Structure 1
Amino acid sequence: MLVHICCSVDSHYFLQKLQTEYPEEKLTGFFYDPNIHPYSEYYLRLLDVKRSCKMLGIDLIEGEYDVENWLEAVRGLEHEPEKGSRCSVCFDRRFEISAQKAREMGETSFTSTLLTSPKKSLKQLQAAGDALAAREGISFVAPDYRKASGTQEQNIMAKEDALYRQDYCGCMFGLNIQRDQQSKLADELFVPISGQVQPESIEERIEMYEKRWQMEEEHIPHKIIKQRFLNWRLTMGLLRVRKEVVPAHFLPYSTLRGEYTRGKIEYSIGKVHYMNRDEVRFITLDTYNSLAGTDYQTVTELIYAPPAFSKEVEVRSRLGITPYDLSVILVTEEIPDNKIEILCQSKTYSDVKEVLVNV
């Protein structure tokens, strides 16, 4: 039996139930999910599915990440709600490829872990699976493992085996709708031009889960814990001096009361130079290099290849700034001595992140 897999939280429980109910059946996992955006999120979910299948002794096949075909299939349905027409097309697309794969492999049946997802309509899934199975001359197996406290058992199992628990279905359209309803930033969909790994970003989670895999392979005791913290994202930053754009690097947690300010340097204390408005501060690139232990030759080089986020937070603290200070701190090659204009579009927000610790 070919088992289409959407994510480890759904598949881990579903596969074990199938192993119990169909003990003579050889199960093969098929990860085909071009609906998952961005690709880094797709990779992270695949990584955890590989771990789950390894734990359960199940072979796994990865399908093609043909995201362009998926986007074309749902064109015009971008604003549909969860469980709406876009989801139906999405199921059909993934079930169609899964059914074709099952037939190519000589399997007589296929199923999908989407059947255990509490966010999906079982009736909707069954109709799509049956229709495509009939077209390929095979059968669609649709057990209801949600009933009799199945969803609760699934959640308990996911927690016990420390599976990656994503908090959105997968596609960018559903994510945007969900984040709008939550009044939250959809920070999963953008990364800085520098490529710097941001706190509680998908890229940071990938680093952590890859490290967890390595620790498991080396039998190093560990645990994933959660912590609440103040997160920050910069979406745009610009410095103009006498109306000319000047290269400037915004240190993490730089925040304005609005998005725009202007003024001039009023005084300096040590190597920190203070603007006369909105608590803005400047340091030179030489000062930054001294504090960070780096050797950047230009600010442009720093902008496009900064050190780790945590290291830049340390730079803020070494400037004598308290942990609660959200003032804009700009790194420039020279301290401006003319009229300054600053555009800083940033957002700070309460967030929760996972942390891997040795035990």
Structure 2
Amino acid sequence: MEDKILVHICCGVDAVWALRKLKMDFPDAQIKGFFYDPNIHPEEEYELRWIETLRICEDLGIECIKGDYDIERWIDLTKGLENEPERGKRCTVCHDLRLEETAKLAKKLNFNKFTTVLLMSPKKDFQVLKDVGESIGRKYGLEFLAVDFRKKGGVENMNRLSKEYQLYHQNYCGCMYALFQQRKDKGYISELVSFGRGRIAGSREELLFIKDIRIFAESLGLKVKEDKFKFIGWRLIRSVLTVNKEPVPHRVLPYSSSLKSVLRAKVARSYEEEDKVVLNLNKGNVQIWITDNPEAESLKKPRLFTDPVFITDNSIPQDAKIELQLEADFIPDSESTNLIIGNPDAESYVEFYSDTLPDGSLGFDPEKIKELLISNREKILSGMLSVRIYGAEHCGKLGREYSKIGEKSLKKL
């Protein structure tokens, strides 16, 4: 009987070596993947791990089934276990759920074996996974393959291949409760928060945009390279602007520093500057920009000074009573990515960028980029044309600046 192995997959990093190891150990077997992780939160994180899993599977010629995002079920099953430590009872429930669903699917597909790439992770208890898997295997009449993917340089192979594939490395297992324990000192947990409806620079949404374009370009046989860079990120947590006690719709210029408390102020002076009227307030080194140009929020160059700037299209009387509140967060270890499709030294290139404003405006539709890749595939393959997608455009065109630094370094060599 031909061996048919269904492999539970939690992420691309754990899968990149484990799937190769299975193909080597079972060269004549039919291997299929099953991506199923109901513990992962939020859904954008689930999608990011899925797209990296899909990329690995497609490269290895392995079909992969995407399981439903079922966070509600996981929350119900782990009630009362929220404060359990890593590798505690909550993790056992999580293992049971994922392996049971894998076994059910294996039985439905007439597979005779199943396993999980969780066995790859140094953070997981191998013996616990082995015991759970074998117990569930007996229940469904299947053989559980307790492969120790970590042995004989497995972890080193995983790390090496992850770098070669430029895989997304998650910084938490996906479980929100585990993350609460890791971030006890934070007022909020950025991994679980969506800042606006768009793809702000350094966000999970921006990276998912890049990964989506990448996997599509690779499906066309195009050469692709990610160039990551670190920068100081910024996120708006909350802001309030009232004029004569009436709330005023507004935006906040990126990299505006927080106000310690409610600031009550008046206009000290006003003047015109390019396409806006600038109001200097008599307290707090705060400015209000009055403009009908939404691009005022998109920085054309990095900010050197971080005095708070509020932006509105409402007129404000000179004698108005103004109240402001602003809480923002600076993230010193933010990361964004430039994506190069084709030969970086191509004689011509087309430029895009990956981020948007928080409301989703001033960004590119990924489908438009994919259409361009299809229509220009031959030019890209021949080296005549490349496509560049820059990261952190609205933070002062940081991706473009990083690209220029890289080009200068290459010229020196």
Equivalent of 1:325, from 277, 282, 305? 305
Partner Cα distance (1:245, 1:352) in 2: 32
- Please say if 1:335 is aligned against 2:337: no
Partner Cα distance (1:15, 1:29) in 2: 9
Equivalent of 1:312, from 298, 303, 322? 298
Partner of 2:144: 140
- Residue 27 of structure 1 aligns to a residue in which SS? strand
Partner deviation per Cα, 1:285-315 (whole Å, 9 max, x = no partner)? 33x35x65xxxxxxxxxxxxxxxxxx6223x
Partner of 1:305: none
Paired-residue identity, %? 37
Confirm or deny: 8 A CA contact 2:255 2:303 kept in the other structure: no
Paired residues for 1:1-359 under 5 Å: 1-180=5-184, 186-193=189-196, 195-270=197-272, 271-286=277-292, 288-289=293-294, 292=296, 312-314=298-300, 323-332=303-312, 333-336=314-317, 337-358=319-340, 359=344
Partner Cα distance (1:216, 1:106) in 2: 32
TM-superposed CA distance for 1:354, in Å, is 3.6
Bigger RCO (CA 8 Å, 6+ sep): 1
Confirm or deny: 8 A CA contact 1:239 1:341 kept in the other structure: yes
Identify which range, 242-251 or 105-114, moves more after superposition: 242-251
Partner Cα distance (2:80, 2:244) in 1: 46
Instruction: Give, as a single letter, the amino acid of the residue that structure 1 aligns with 2:148.
Output: D
Confirm or deny: 8 A CA contact 1:250 1:329 kept in the other structure: yes
Partner deviation per Cα, 1:218-252 (whole Å, 9 max, x = no partner)? 44443222222111111111112232322222222
Aligned pair count reads 331
Instruction: Give, as a single letter, the amino acid of the residue that structure 2 aligns with 1:334.
Output: S
TM-superposed CA distance for 1:257, in Å, is 4.4
TM-superposed CA distance for 1:256, in Å, is 2.2
- Residues 354 and 28 from structure 1, CA distance in 2 versus in 1: closer, same or farther, beyond 3 angstroms? same
Identify which range, 92-101 or 335-344, moves more after superposition: 335-344
Mark the runs of 5 or more structure 2 residues left unpaired by the alignment: 345-413
Confirm or deny: 8 A CA contact 1:256 1:278 kept in the other structure: no
Instruction: Give, as a single letter, the amino acid of the residue that structure 1 aligns with 2:329.
Output: K
TM-superposed CA distance for 1:123, in Å, is 1.3
Instruction: Give, as a single letter, the amino acid of the residue that structure 2 aligns with 1:351.
Output: D
Instruction: Give, as a single letter, the amino acid of the residue that structure 2 aligns with 1:154.
Output: M
- Residues 101 and 7 from structure 1, CA distance in 2 versus in 1: closer, same or farther, beyond 3 angstroms? same
Partner Cα distance (1:211, 1:239) in 2: 38
Partner Cα distance (2:174, 2:76) in 1: 16
Identify which range, 125-134 or 183-192, moves more after superposition: 183-192
Partner Cα distance (1:136, 1:17) in 2: 25
Instruction: Give, as a single letter, the amino acid of the residue that structure 2 aligns with 1:186.
Output: I
- Residue 274 of structure 1 aligns to a residue in which SS? strand
Confirm or deny: 8 A CA contact 1:232 1:346 kept in the other structure: yes
Partner of 2:358: none
Partner of 1:299: none
- Residue 313 of structure 1 aligns to a residue in which SS? coil
Instruction: Give, as a single letter, the amino acid of the residue that structure 2 aligns with 1:36.
Output: I
Instruction: Give, as a single letter, the amino acid of the residue that structure 2 aligns with 1:198.
Output: I
Identify which range, 244-253 or 145-154, moves more after superposition: 244-253
Confirm or deny: 8 A CA contact 2:259 2:326 kept in the other structure: no
Confirm or deny: 8 A CA contact 1:41 1:202 kept in the other structure: yes
Partner Cα distance (2:279, 2:221) in 1: 51
Partner Cα distance (1:179, 1:258) in 2: 23
Identify which range, 252-261 or 112-121, moves more after superposition: 252-261
Q: RMSD between aligned alpha carbons?
A: 1.9
Instruction: Give, as a single letter, the amino acid of the residue that structure 1 aligns with 2:29.
Output: E
Instruction: Give, as a single letter, the amino acid of the residue that structure 2 aligns with 1:335.
Output: I
TM-superposed CA distance for 1:341, in Å, is 1.2
Confirm or deny: 8 A CA contact 1:5 1:114 kept in the other structure: yes
Identify which range, 268-277 or 83-92, moves more after superposition: 268-277
| Superposed structure 1 runs of 4+ greater than 4 Å apart | none
Partner Cα distance (1:133, 1:278) in 2: 66
Confirm or deny: 8 A CA contact 2:259 2:327 kept in the other structure: no
Partner Cα distance (1:313, 1:276) in 2: 25
Identify which range, 212-221 or 333-342, moves more after superposition: 212-221
Partner deviation per Cα, 1:239-290 (whole Å, 9 max, x = no partner)? 122323222222222222424322111112432111111221111133x35x
Identify which range, 272-281 or 221-230, moves more after superposition: 221-230
Partner Cα distance (1:313, 1:138) in 2: 58
- Residues 107 and 214 from structure 1, CA distance in 2 versus in 1: closer, same or farther, beyond 3 angstroms? closer
Instruction: Give, as a single letter, the amino acid of the residue that structure 1 aligns with 2:338.
Output: L
